[in-house]
Amino acid sequence: MPPCVAHAAPSPSFTLAEEETPVFRQAWFYVTLVAVAAVAFLLYSEFTRPEQALGNEPVQVAREPGASAPAAPAAPGRPSTQPAEGGPQPQEATGTPGQGAAETRSGESEGGEALQADLAARGEQLYTQLGCSACHSLDGTPLVGPSWKGLYGHEVKLGNGQAVTADEAYLKESIENPDAKLVQGYPQGVMTATIAPYKAQLSQQENIDALIAFIKTLE
């Protein structure tokens, strides 16, 4: 039987220094990279910050090409008329001179026509409600009183031989007092007695205006 020989454990094929060499190399690479980045950042900050003069001289700030210069401060006691940079710019007036006034007059004219139309419609209702239809026709036929057809703006011959124009003043007076200027061919006192039951309504200005507006439409 062969004698037992003690065998020593095999030694590792690499040393501790050889095992740590790649780690140190990798760490050195990252340290170098960080240092280069720090130097680059410092250089960038140094060359990009605004130049500032010594003493009380103003700081010159670089502006982009085409940018407008900041507005100069206004003199003491006088407000600046130059708009601030980036603020709303004044709007130039557009349109022809007098256009706004013409549009205003046009709107007022349309509003007046609408008001007259409403008054005329109200007057047509009063023509029936207050018994006017029993004495005044709308087709030119004479009744107890003269017809309202074509009355407004035309000449009216009175019983005393005078001739007057049937304008608003004449119509208002005739509604309130039919015998004041009696039309030729019609007896006195008849119309006054006829409107007696409606005297209160015919004395109201809004009703008078409505009846006149209605008579104006009867051409």
Domains, the chain: 116-216 (1.10.760.10)
Structure-model confidence comparison of residues 215 and 45, the more confident one: 215
Predicted TM-score (pTM) of the model is 0.51
pLDDT, tens digit, 9 for 90 and up, residues 122-142:
999 999 999 899 899 999 999
- How far CA 186 is from CA of 96, 97, 195, in Å, comes to 58, 56, 15
pLDDT, tens digit, 9 for 90 and up, residues 54-87:
444 454 555 555 555 555 555 555 555 555 555 5
Q: Do 186 and 174 contact (CB within 8 A), yes or no?
A: no
What is the pLDDT confidence band of residue 39, given thresholds at 50, 70 and 90? confident
Structure-model confidence comparison of residues 53 and 141, the more confident one: 141
State the residue for tokens 């009355």.
151
As a whole number of angstroms, the distance between CA 160 and CA 84 comes to 80
Q: Is the pLDDT of residue 51 over 80?
A: no
3-class DSSP assignment, residue 160:
coil
